[in-house]
Amino acid sequence: MSTFVSIFGLGYVGSVTAGCLAHNGIHVMGVDVNPAKVEAFNAGRSPVLEPGLQELLAESRDQGRLEATADIRRAIEETQISFICVGTPSLPNGKLDVSVVERVCEQIGAALRDKHARHLVVVRSTVLPGTAEGIALPALEKASNKRAGEDFGICSNPEFLREGSAIVDFLEPGMTVLGSQSAEDVASLRELYSWVGGEVFETTLSAAEMIKYICNGFHALKIAFANEMGTVCKRLGVDAEEVTRIFTADRRLNISPAYLKPGFAFGGPCLPKDLRALSYRVKELDLELPLLDSILPSNAQHLERAVDMILRLQKREVGLFGLSFKPGTDDLRESPHVQLVKRLLGEGCNVRIWDPNVALGRLIGSNRAYIEEYIPHIGSLLVDDPGEVIRGAEVIVLGTPSLDKEMILSCLSEHQTVVDLVHLSKAERLASNAYHGICW
Ligand SMILES: NC(=O)c1ccc[n+]([C@@H]2O[C@H](COP(=O)([O-])OP(=O)(O)OC[C@H]3O[C@@H](n4cnc5c(N)ncnc54)[C@H](O)[C@@H]3O)[C@@H](O)[C@H]2O)c1
């Protein structure tokens, strides 16, 4: 049986979605408030300039699979799935304006009042997490007098196309993300996309909405970072192309998921020192590189989040697992755990620490000098028995993944709170009454 889809908003996203779906045998009805766009669609002309789109639209229009209308009732009555592809611009203060998404939902909802068959509404416009559930869904329910999940479904399906290569991006996407509240809703969307390349991810509505922002945030970060590094290279007379080529060739740590897992602040003998050195050199060169300069303050803020999280519990007896800056080393230099201990002691907490890699007697050189300057009496806080750390604590801070979880579990009482800084997987988490992940 053919699938009939309506597309609300015939701008870049709507036109490309319409052209690509129609090209793959789906019947598409475009809807736009702009009569010129409706007219262009019906004439088989593309309302936007995008390589290859004109041909796709003309071909589908000629084969009877593509038309456009301003009649919303007809679009809802004659199709099974509606994609919302309207604009979501910035307001002058930066806030996202989702008023058009809301208005379209009200219009679709009003048309759904008289429709008996189940309909699926898909939010494809870029919207912040919670919009599908908190704005689109209530608007649809109110206007239709029907219930989401029962009479109609709602999904989130963010668009990842890039203008200029939008058709290839649609047909061979890096990924397809389908957010929903129910298996029934997502099944018809999965079926609709069965022919596109790349991996399909099914998730919640808000996770799907957030993925779009993480992607765009990361892409923007990469561009700004590359531009700042190129700027330093140029000023230092270093070949930026050569540096970038070699930098991106490392697929283990550089172009990879490494370091992209939410966790605790970074530290250790290299990253903070090297960032400071580069920032200082940049200042000497009279350059302004705000992204580079923002990394250490961002890291310090993350450390403060851990301090706040622990202090807000209003419990003073803290047990910390892990002191060195990462597992498998006894290096304490610029360890964020050491800084965390110092902050907590300063706030009046009592802290006991277990880290089998750290034996103060064995520390030598700059590592020893660092800890003696930073927390001279740290020796009195370190204990050999991990059970002792738990027994005396009201808050247990997990700062290393190298934990004997069974032992911890056997000592843990229901009054104790766990603060996780290392991002244990859900399966690994301790069955504690109170568990707080620092940023998850
Ligand atoms: N352009 C991109 O490269 C791109 C890529 C990914 C995601 N997005 C997101 O997709 C969404 C759409 O972006 P765009 O660039 O296609 O926008 P656009 O401004 O080009 O198109 C929006 C269309 O919606 C129409 N419209 C407005 N109100 C309407 C209504 N009530 N009913 C029907 N149509 C209506 C407008 O007339 C216009 O044709 C935005 O949320 C955007 O952030 C855009």
Shortest-distance atom of ligand 1 to CA 31:
33
Cα distance between residue 74 and residue 246, in whole Å: 57
Percent of the chain with pLDDT over 70: 99
Cβ neighbour number for residue 409 with a 10 Å cutoff:
13
Partners of 123 in beta bridges: 84, 156
Each residue's pLDDT tens digit, 14-70:
999 999 999 999 999 999 999 999 999 999 999 999 999 999 999 999 999 999 999
Q: Return the residue whose CA atom lies nearest to atom 4 of ligand 1.
A: 13
Cα distance between residue 388 and residue 348, in whole Å: 20
Tokens (6 digits) for 146: 């029907």
Q: What is the CA(10)–ligand 1 centre distance, in A?
A: 7
Q: Based on the number of CB atoms within 10 Å of its own CB, is 293 exposed (0-12), middle (13-18) or buried (19 or more)? A: middle
- pTM comes to 0.94
Task: Report whether residue 126 contacts ligand 1, using a CB cutoff of 6 Å.
Answer: yes
Tokens (6 digits) for 346: 């300063």
Shortest-distance atom of ligand 1 to CA 166:
3
Q: What is the CA(89)–ligand 1 centre distance, in A?
A: 9
Q: Return the residue whose CA atom lies nearest to atom 7 of ligand 1.
A: 159
Cα distance between residue 122 and residue 104, in whole Å: 12
∠ CA 342-402-405 to the nearest 5 degrees?
A: 105
Task: Report whether residue 128 contacts ligand 1, using a CB cutoff of 6 Å.
Answer: no
Mutate to test the pocket of ligand 1, among 38, 39, 71, 86 (most ligand atoms within 8 A of CB): 86
Partners of 156 in beta bridges: 123, 179
The three-state secondary structure class of 430 is coil
Mutate to test the pocket of ligand 1, among 91, 159, 209, 212 (most ligand atoms within 8 A of CB): 159
DSSP character at residue 260: -
Average pLDDT over residues 89-108: 98
Q: What is the CA(155)–ligand 1 centre distance, in A?
A: 18
- pLDDT of 432 > 70? The answer is no
> Which of 214, 36, 33 lies closest to 129 in space, CA to CA?
214
Place 366 in a pLDDT band, splitting at 50, 70 and 90: confident
In the chain, what is the straight-line distance between the N-terminal and C-terminal CA atoms, in Å? 43
Q: What is the CA(312)–ligand 1 centre distance, in A?
A: 43
Active site (annotated) includes residue 85: no
Partners of 180 in beta bridges: 155
Helix (H) / strand (E) element for 31: namely strand 27-31
Each residue's pLDDT tens digit, 277-319:
999 999 999 999 999 999 999 999 999 999 999 999 999 999 9
Partners of 354 in beta bridges: 321
Cα distance between residue 309 and residue 312, in whole Å: 5
The three-state secondary structure class of 122 is strand
Residue in the block written with tokens 């199709």? 79
Cα distance between residue 262 and residue 253, in whole Å: 16
- Within 13 Å, how many C-alpha atoms sit on residue 158's CB side? 28
Q: Based on the number of CB atoms within 10 Å of its own CB, is 71 exposed (0-12), middle (13-18) or buried (19 or more)? A: middle
Cα distance between residue 46 and residue 38, in whole Å: 10
Cα distance between residue 121 and residue 133, in whole Å: 12
Each residue's pLDDT tens digit, 255-288:
999 999 999 999 999 999 999 999 999 999 999 9
Place 360 in a pLDDT band, splitting at 50, 70 and 90: confident
The three-state secondary structure class of 10 is coil
- Within 13 Å, how many C-alpha atoms sit on residue 318's CB side? 33
Cα distance between residue 216 and residue 230, in whole Å: 21
Radius of gyration of the chain (CA): 28
Q: Which of 85, 105, 233, 270 is catalytic?
A: 270
Alpha carbon 171 to chain centroid, angstroms: 23
